[in-house]
Structures are given as C-alpha cells and as structure tokens.
Amino acid sequence: EDQVTQSPEALRLQEGESSSLNCSYTVSGLRGLFWYRQDPGKGPEFLFTLYSAGEEKEKERLKATLTKKESFLHITAPKPEDSATYLCAGDNTDKLIFGTGTRLQVFP
C-alpha cells in the first residue's frame, strides 16, 4: 500500500537552530514529491515539488532534497514565523498521498 511517513511528529527549535525534517515514502510509480506548509485553521500552502532523486530546491531558509526513498526539508537558522506544520505528499496516480506532518515550533 502506498504510504508517506514523516518524522519527527513535533520539533521544537530555538531561533537560529538549524534542523531537518524527514519524509519517507513507499509510493509505487512516484511521479513527484511535494512539500506544503500549513498554519493552524488554514489550508496547505505549496512550497516545493521534487521530481527525481538528487534534485534540490531552495526558498529562503528552506531547502528540500530527494533520494530514492526519502525527502528532507532542511531549515537553516529558523525564525519564529517558520512555526507551522510541514506536510509532504507523494503523487503516483494523479492524487496526492500525504504524511501526517511535522509540527515545528521555533522559539525566540
């Protein structure tokens, strides 16, 4: 069965303390791996799409990477406004299969 697993479930960081979020996937025929950010009570907001192993994308303090089995979201020198839930999703048959997310809290 197609599955996306994210770890850790929750992460607390001090402002400026860099870290990584993990997304492991077992999605047959994966065509794309997506990262979203979700603030409480709101819909997911698109961040990145990765299509093939070795690909990397960056946006401000965030960098997403992809291997054949995992994706990582690296957060460099986070700020309190980076606090949110980060979701990853795999696309195989025209729909996105989401993980349960990592809830990130960044303290000043």
Partner 1 sequence: DTGVSQDPRHKITKRGQNVTFRCDPISEHNRLYWYRQTLGQGPEFLTYFQNEAQLEKSRLLSDRFSAERPKGSFSTLEIQRTEQGDSAMYLCASRPQGVVEAFFGQGTRLTVV
Q: Does 11 bind partner 1 (CB under 8 A)?
A: no
SS3 of the chain: CCEEEEECCEEEEECCCCEEEEEEEECCCCCEEEEEEECCCCCCEEEEEECCCCCEEEECCEEEEECCCEEEEEECCCCHHHCEEEEEEEECCCCEEECCCEEEEEEC
Site for partner 1 contains 3 (CB under 8 A): no
Would you say 10 or 77 has its CB closer to partner 1?
10
Q: How far is the CB of 10 from partner 1 (least distance, A)?
A: 10
Cβ contact 31:76 at 8 Å: no
Residues 70-89 that bind partner 1 (CB under 8 A): 87, 89
> How many residues sit in the footprint of partner 1 (CB under 8 A)?
26
Segment interacting with partner 1 (CB under 8 A) among 13-21, 41-49, 53-61, 72-80 = 41-49
Choices 12-20, 27-35, 63-71, 76-84; region in contact with partner 1 by CB under 8 A: 27-35
**Is 94 an interacting residue with respect to partner 1 (CB under 8 A)?**
yes
